[in-house]
Amino acid sequence: MNTLEILDKLVAFDTVSAASNLQLIAYVEDLLKANGFRVTRLPSPCGNKAGLYAELGPQVAGGLLLSGHTDVVPTDGQTWTKPPFKLTQEAGKLFGRGTTDMKGFVASALALAVKAKDLRLQRPLAIVLSYDEEIGCVGLQEIRADLAPLLRAPALCIVGEPTEMQVATGHKGKAAFKAIFHGQSGHSALAPKFTNALHLAADFMGALRSIQAELAEEGPFDTAYEVPYTTLHVGKLSGGTALNIVPALAEMQFEMRTLALQDVSVLNDRIDGIVSKMNAARVCISLERGNTYPGLDVDAAQPWVKNVAELAQNGLTKVAFGTEAGILTEMGVPTLVCGPGSMEGQGHQADEFIETQQLTACDDFLDRMIQSSQWCGALP
């Protein structure tokens, strides 16, 4: 099977993060086992989803690991002119949910797996697939403990998020927060006599914006990013029941996206300091820390990075969005991000698409990688 045929199958599975991915995983298991791979399913704690690890070739250290996620973002609220879960080819583009993010790369990796069965690998070729990446790299972190003993110290991992086939050496880390503000309910005609929870939230937001302004002015900076500093972003604020009632409760969700240069502990201490100061008179804020994932920051001057860039036949970059690469790096696997398509104007959009030439470029890159003596050293 070629990449296009496999992508057609993958897009047809509705694997939005709220749904199960088990049918897709079963399809991939059957495909890889039929082509000689040793396959291990990695169930989620809830049992409704699963990751997968598969390997081919000698059971030794080194080799190449290809990493992708199976979930896609929802289509709700988007106006599609083409069926989202059916691959549609038109004018050099392939339309369908997940074509760019990131079933295109997964299809290319699986097509490589089919070809690899007829090659003599000097070092192993491995594939890891995860779930729930789109909601904060949750799935890989859930299966991390089960995955770790399966890995044979791969020499390199490629996470195939869409980079237009540039080799990404970095992305920011992320931490999510929820702040709950406790006020006092009362009639709005007597509003000054009560503590307005939304006003507390506004004061807290103002303090966060002051930190953000400072970061934008003073850094630290990494000019490889379009936004070259750490960001604090409030994404959701809710509270109140009626206009004539002072709100007793409000909730805010916010996040940090941090550079590798940033001392995250300092930012955490500053946020805690704001909470403590506002709680000095009486407890009015409770702060909850949510999902986090690490950033990625690889020294682009290292010879192995240059080798991958030469094989990709493209330049180096850093990406604005998060990936699972930081987690794999924490697990001791040298990791870069490189995949077909672009998040800008393609991924997460209505009528998501990938250009056929991008898939071809990915196929060619993976062929060169598996044949390279530095990685798998595949021979006919």
Active site residues: 71, 133
**Pairing status of strand 296-297 against strand 231-239:** unpaired
Q: Which residues contact 66 (CB under 8 A, 6 or more apart)?
A: 109, 112, 125, 126, 127, 128, 157, 158, 160, 366
- 165: which DSSP letter? T
- Give the burial class of 370: count Cβ atoms within 10 A of its Cβ; 0-12 exposed, 13-18 middle, 19 or more buried: buried
Alpha helices in 117-263 (DSSP H): 138-147, 197-218
Beta sheet of 93-95, edge-to-edge order: 88-90, 93-95, 353-355
Whether 130 contacts 324, CB under 8 Å = yes
| Cα distance between residue 24 and residue 70, in whole Å | 8
| Cα distance between residue 188 and residue 177, in whole Å | 30
Alpha helices in 59-196 (DSSP H): 104-116, 138-147
DSSP-derived secondary structure for 59-77: SSS--EEEEEE--B---TT
